[in-house]
Structure 1
Amino acid sequence: MYKHVITANLQVRVIDQEMQAIGGQKLDMPSLCSAHLWKTSERWDLMGKELFRLKDRHGAEYCLGPTHEEAVTTLVAHQTTLSYRQLPLLLYQVTRKFRDEPKPKFGLLRGREFYMKDMYSFDADEAAARRTYDSVCRAYAALFARLGLRCVQVQADTGNIGGKLSHEFQLPADVGEDRLLVCGRCSFAANVETLPAGGADCPRCGGAAALAESKGIEVGHTFYLGEKYSRVFGAAFSNAQNKPAVAQMGCYGLGVTRILAAAVEVLSTEDGIRWPGLLAPYQVCVLPPKKGSKVDDAAAVAEELVRALGEAGPNMRGEVVLDDRTHMTIGKRLKDAAGLGYPYVVVVGGGALEDTPRFEVICQETSETTFLSKDALLDLLGRVETV
């Protein structure tokens, strides 16, 4: 559980970097949402049983927010001095969401409570809103690239959120619940639910029988909403003619906990967990020799190596852990390290006591083992990206 908290916090830092790079402003919105807002948008009944509903002691109705279109649009609507010069406005949060799933399963992949990043954009016109939409999609692509995850952007249904345009971001995986159709001749990809039944020809390039079906795990979803919420709640701004105009909206979600679970699913092997490098709880695990072994003197070298690695640069600070369970064999601790998913494992053995000390370095991602000097090891790990 502690490890999941660390990796989730690291992921939020990566998300913050990508969202703020495109102008995102972070805020917090309440998890407890007034039924009045949801009834105003007509989603109180539309959401059905998935919405967690409750009443306070006075009988007023509320829900636990699965998404926050109503709340954020109301917030913007109360900014009565908003000018077109202040647009686009991109507001986002990373917080707990709630959805009364009929059959929660796959641990973090589908639960009733989960962490999500949701962003909401407000633009002056449709052209600007679509540019913002595209910029967020590019930021999502950059995020998944940094995580080392192959993600496919597919055409999707707008569902109960609504709007004119929607895309899902899918990690291809056999355990995925979504069926995808991907063209082998162009960049077209879609969730199968958006295409006519039985259609195998690509609607974009016209390629005959060009669509291949696969499965995926949805980890992100974007929507161009237009005026669906802004008109209902009165989210307006003063345009260039100093006249009130209704804002054009978009909303964009990322499943924070779902990305963690999906990444482990698609990257791991039977031998152990594989985290995206940026999300690993620690980058390096150093294994000193077993106490009482012939090379027990190398234990002091291991402790010095941990200190040197931690001071090698700002990217390694707090990223190195010493497995000091020296009553256990190296083999047992290597197995544990593979199960925990450290990107790099450094074994301090007899080679560390040579005139030119050498260390056994195991890269978990490639399963390659190399023997490096201290300087070469510092150089290798100094180039590792961290957040």
Structure 2
Amino acid sequence: MMQTGLIHPSNPGCFYYLPVALRSLEKLVRLIDEEMHAIGGQKVDMPALCSAELWKKSGRWELMGKEMFRLLDRHNGEYCLGPTHEEAVTELFASQTTMSYKKLPLLLYQVTRKFRDEQKPKFGLLRGREFYMKDMYSFDINEEAALHTYNSVCQAYGRIFDRLHLKWVQVQADTGNIGGTLSHEFQLPADIGEDKLLVCGNCGFSANIETLEPGQAECSQCQTGKLTESRGIEVGHTFYLGTKYSQAFKALFVNASNVPAVAEMGCFGLGVTRILAASIEVMSTEDAIRWPGLIAPYQVCVLPPKKGSKAHEATLKAEELAQSLGNSLPNLKGEVVLDDRTQMTIGKRLKDAKILGYPFVVVVGQTALDDLASFEVVCQQSGETLFLSKDGLVDLLSTVETI
């Protein structure tokens, strides 16, 4: 990502997101928004600067240890930069003292920068000290309703990864310092992954190795299958919290009997910048980036001929083509790039286009000047090269899904 100009290093574990990467990141956020809204999620934005009093109230101020960035203000008030927001959102809910059961479930989420003082930041965006996360928090009337919400969010996560055409697995996970009684991770299988996973070849049960007994070889779910080890990159984590936080903060609602009751909670995280980096990791080749189609920064790159070449007269055709594709196809509005570095050969620019991973590269050469004009179209995802008329090209690109 650094070699191709997507990100630039700043402090250890922190990066500049350069224009191309930011376009992809914004598309990913729009995809997440679509799926969160579809299950009733409402987007909020909570303070990154969190009072120590909140964390002491939940008992996590000391539990979080050195991974939490802590600071004092000029009045010696203690604060932290929020690594997660269970305390903050529960306090917000608790402040709504007349919340009726009729308004539940309530699903609040945000997409914000998070901060963790990693001892050894590594793997670029996969393990940093400052990163983007989507965190959602749910409030329900009872355990049954809370588990229904839990499953609903997990299914939405699955749809996100399916729409990105990523291989993924949902595994049993440890609740860690978040707490609760039920937890799952969403993992992208990858040889470089930090997490060790055990998967049953018989029933499909899967778990992070840290949740199982050391040396456990048989599946605890079907009792007959053997567990095989693989590795994965964690890109999502879900927790059923019960009343761990709502009890501490007196997060109450008025139930059907008109009596105050403690809300049941869940929390659900997606590593937004992790998904971006991990998808590139698992899809790319040694010499070229491959994007999930929906979040490719641009869908089409048009290459005019080299200045001064025999096909130079086709330059105007290339410019008109790039403009017309963006104007005539609603799905390609703002999605077409014209590589106007015509002092360079088409071969060099085509190599650059392959490295950057544009899903479609359209080469405008001598054949564009023929009576039956045709264009060379490189389809990066499939590896195919097609020769299409203008109408054929429009038909092909009109089917491209964008967000």
**TM-score category (smaller protein):** over 0.9
Q: Secondary structure at the match of 1:324?
A: coil
Identify the residue that residue 130 of structure 1 maps to in structure 2: 147
Identify the residue that residue 396 of structure 2 maps to in structure 1: 380
Residue in structure 1 matching 2:375, options 356, 359, 375: 359
Is 1:151 the counterpart of 2:163 in the alignment?
no
Structure-1 separation of matches of 2:385 and 2:103: 54
Do the aligned residues in 2 keep the contact of 1:170 with 1:216 (CA within 8 Å)? yes
Which deviates more from structure 2 when the two are superposed, residues 36-45 or residues 370-379? 370-379
Residue in structure 2 matching 1:309, options 309, 319, 325: 325
Residue in structure 2 matching 1:171, options 188, 198, 219: 188
Residue in structure 1 matching 2:136, options 113, 119, 134: 119
Identify the residue that residue 291 of structure 1 maps to in structure 2: 307
Do the aligned residues in 2 keep the contact of 1:312 with 1:382 (CA within 8 Å)? no
Alpha-carbon RMSD across the aligned residues, in angstroms, is 0.8
Residue in structure 2 matching 1:258, options 251, 254, 274: 274
Do the aligned residues in 2 keep the contact of 1:168 with 1:222 (CA within 8 Å)? yes
- Which whole-Å deviations, capped at 9, do the CAs of 1:11-36 have from their partners, x for residues lacking one? 11101001000000000000000000
Identify the residue that residue 47 of structure 1 maps to in structure 2: 64
Q: Secondary structure at the match of 1:168?
A: strand
Identify the residue that residue 37 of structure 2 maps to in structure 1: 20
Q: Secondary structure at the match of 1:49?
A: helix
Q: CA deviation at 1:218?
A: 0.3
Structure-2 separation of matches of 1:313 and 1:365: 21
Structure-1 separation of matches of 2:179 and 2:146: 16
Is 1:189 the counterpart of 2:206 in the alignment?
yes
Structure-1 separation of matches of 2:152 and 2:92: 23
Q: Secondary structure at the match of 1:315?
A: helix
**TM-score between both structures, scaled by the size of structure 2:** 0.95
Structure-2 separation of matches of 1:157 and 1:126: 20
Q: Percent identity?
A: 71
**TM-score between both structures, scaled by the size of structure 1:** 0.99
Which residues of structure 2 form unaligned runs of 5+? Answer: 1-17
Residue in structure 2 matching 1:91, options 84, 102, 108: 108
Q: Within 5 A, what are the aligned runs for 1:232-247?
A: 232-247=248-263
Structure-1 separation of matches of 2:223 and 2:362: 53
Is 1:109 the counterpart of 2:140 in the alignment?
no
Which residues of structure 1 form unaligned runs of 5+? Answer: none
Q: CA deviation at 1:148?
A: 1.1
Structure-2 separation of matches of 1:295 and 1:317: 28
Structure-2 separation of matches of 1:147 and 1:176: 19
Structure-1 separation of matches of 2:144 and 2:394: 49
Do the aligned residues in 2 keep the contact of 1:352 with 1:358 (CA within 8 Å)? yes
Structure-1 separation of matches of 2:329 and 2:254: 49
Q: Secondary structure at the match of 1:311?
A: helix
Structure-2 separation of matches of 1:375 and 1:185: 50
Q: CA deviation at 1:325?
A: 0.4
Q: Within 5 A, what are the aligned runs for 1:273-292?
A: 273-292=289-308
Q: CA deviation at 1:308?
A: 1.5
Q: Secondary structure at the match of 2:241?
A: strand
Q: CA deviation at 1:158?
A: 0.1
Q: Secondary structure at the match of 1:3?
A: helix
Aligned residue identity for 2:193 = G
Paired residues in the alignment total 386
Structure-2 separation of matches of 1:6 and 1:15: 14
Q: CA deviation at 1:205?
A: 1.4
Identify the residue that residue 12 of structure 2 maps to in structure 1: none
- Which whole-Å deviations, capped at 9, do the CAs of 1:222-278 have from their partners, x for residues lacking one? 000000000100111011111101000000000011111101100000121111111
Q: Secondary structure at the match of 1:59?
A: coil
Is 1:319 the counterpart of 2:332 in the alignment?
no
Q: Secondary structure at the match of 2:328?
A: coil
Structure-2 separation of matches of 1:75 and 1:339: 46
Q: CA deviation at 1:187?
A: 2.4
Q: Secondary structure at the match of 1:153?
A: strand
Q: Secondary structure at the match of 2:312?
A: coil
Structure-2 separation of matches of 1:310 and 1:75: 44
Structure-2 separation of matches of 1:381 and 1:207: 49
Q: Secondary structure at the match of 1:229?
A: helix
Q: Secondary structure at the match of 1:206?
A: coil
Residue in structure 2 matching 1:78, options 88, 92, 95: 95
Q: CA deviation at 1:287?
A: 0.4
Structure-1 separation of matches of 2:208 and 2:48: 30
